[in-house]
Chains A and B, each alone.
Chain A
Amino acid sequence: MRSEPAERIDPRALRVWIINGTIKTIVLAVVLGISAAVALMVFHWPGWVPVIPAVIVLLYGTLEIGVLPELRWKYWRYEVSEEEVDLQRGIWLLKRTLLPLARVQHVDTRQGLIMRRYGLASVAISTAAGVHEIPALSVEVADELRDKISRLARTYENEL
Chain B
Amino acid sequence: MNFGTKSPGWRGHMKMSSNKHRLHPLGILLTAIKVIKDLALPLLAFMASQVLRQALSSWTITLAVALVLAILVMVALSWYRFTYSTEEGVLLVEHGVLVRNKIVIPRERIQSVDFNQGLLQRLFGLVSVQVETAGGKKPEVVLTAVTRREALELRQMLMPSAVAVEHDPQAEPGLHKNLSVGYLLLFGVTSGSGLGVVLAVSSGLWATLDDIGLETKVIEYYQWFVEHGSTVALVAFLLVFIWLLAVLGMVLKYGGFRLTRTGDRIQMVYGLLHRRQVSLPVRRIQALRLSEGLLRQPWGLVTLQVESAGYGPKSAEKALLWPLIRQKDLPRFLQEFLPEFKSEEKRNVPNGTVGGMSPIYGLIGEVPLRQLPPGTRIRYVMRALLPSAPIAALLIVWLYHIGFAYPLLPLSLPLVFMVMGLWNHRDAGWGLRGNMLSIRYRVFSRTKVIVPRRCVQSLTISHTPFQHRAGLATFNLDLASEASFGLLHISASDGIELAGWLESQHQTHQASIRKHF
Contacts and interface: CB of A to CB of B under 8 A. Distances in A.
Interface of A: 1-2, 82-84, 90, 92-100, 102-103, 127-130, 132, 155-156, 159-160
Contact of B496 (A1, A128, A129, A130): A1
Interface stretch (B34-42, B122-130, B363-371, B456-464): B456-464
B487 to A, nearest CB: 15
Contacts of B503: 1, 83-84, 98, 100
A80 B308 CA distance: 29
Listed residue (B457, B468, B502) with the most chain A CB atoms within 10 angstroms of its CB: B457
Given A1-B499, A1-B503, 7 more contacts: A90-B462, A92-B464, A97-B458, A97-B461, A98-B459, A127-B457, A129-B457
Nearest to A127: B457
Given A100-B502, A127-B457, A128-B309, A94 B509 contact: no
A84 B484 CA distance: 19
B454 A132 contact: no
Main SS at interface, chain B: mixed
Contacts of A159: 454, 509
Contacts of A94: 462-464, 468
Contacts of A129: 457-458, 478-480, 482, 484
B118 to A, nearest CB: 33
A159 B457 CA distance: 14
B513 interface: yes
A99 B503 CA distance: 9
B459 A97 contact: yes
Contact of A95 (B460, B500, B505): B460
Interface string B453-487: 01011111111110010000000001110101000
A129 B485 CA distance: 12
B509 A128 contact: no
27 contacts: A1-B496, A1-B499, A83-B503, A83-B510, A84-B503, A93-B463, A94-B462, A94-B464, A95-B460, A97-B459, A97-B461, A98-B499, A98-B502, A100-B505, A127-B480, A128-B309, A128-B479, A128-B480, A129-B457, A129-B479, A129-B480, A132-B458, A155-B513, A156-B509, A159-B454, A159-B509, A160-B283
A2 B496 contact: yes
A155 B468 CA distance: 36
Given A83-B510, A93-B463, A160 B454 contact: yes
A1 B500 contact: yes
Which of B463, B478, B482, B500 has its CB near the most chain A CB atoms (within 10 A)?
A: B478
A97 B502 contact: no
A128 B500 contact: no
A128 B499 contact: no
Contacts of B509: 102, 156, 159
B100 interface: no
Max chain B Cβ within 10 angstroms of own Cβ: one of A2, A92, A128, A155: A128
Interface of B: 283, 309, 454, 456-465, 468, 478-480, 482, 484, 496, 499-500, 502-503, 505-506, 509-510, 513
**9 smallest A-B Cβ distances: which pairs?**
A128-B480, A129-B457, A129-B478, A95-B462, A83-B506, A127-B457, A97-B460, A98-B459, A99-B458
B458 A127 contact: yes
Contact of B458 (A82, A103, A155): A103
A71 B505 CA distance: 34
A160 B509 CA distance: 12
A77 to B, nearest CB: 14
Contacts of B309: 128
A150 B480 CA distance: 19
A59 B138 CA distance: 43
Given A93-B463, A100-B505, A129-B457, A82 B510 contact: yes
Which of B309, B456, B462, B480 neighbours the largest number of chain A CB atoms within 10 Å of its CB?
Answer: B462
Contact of A128 (B457, B462, B506): B457
Contacts of A2: 496, 499
B459 A92 contact: no
Given A128-B309, A129-B482, A96 B460 contact: yes
A132 B478 CA distance: 12
Contacts of A1: 496, 499-500, 503
B334 to A, nearest CB: 21
A97 B482 CA distance: 16
A114 to B, nearest CB: 28
Contacts of B465: 92
A93 B462 contact: yes
A94 B510 CA distance: 30
A82 B484 CA distance: 25
Max chain B C-beta neighbours (<10 A), residue from A95, A98, A132: A98
Contacts of B464: 92-94
A132 B460 CA distance: 11
Contacts of B496: 1-2
Contacts of A93: 462-464
B338 to A, nearest CB: 17
A160 B460 CA distance: 22
Contacts of B461: 95-98
A139 B408 CA distance: 64
Contacts of A103: 456-458
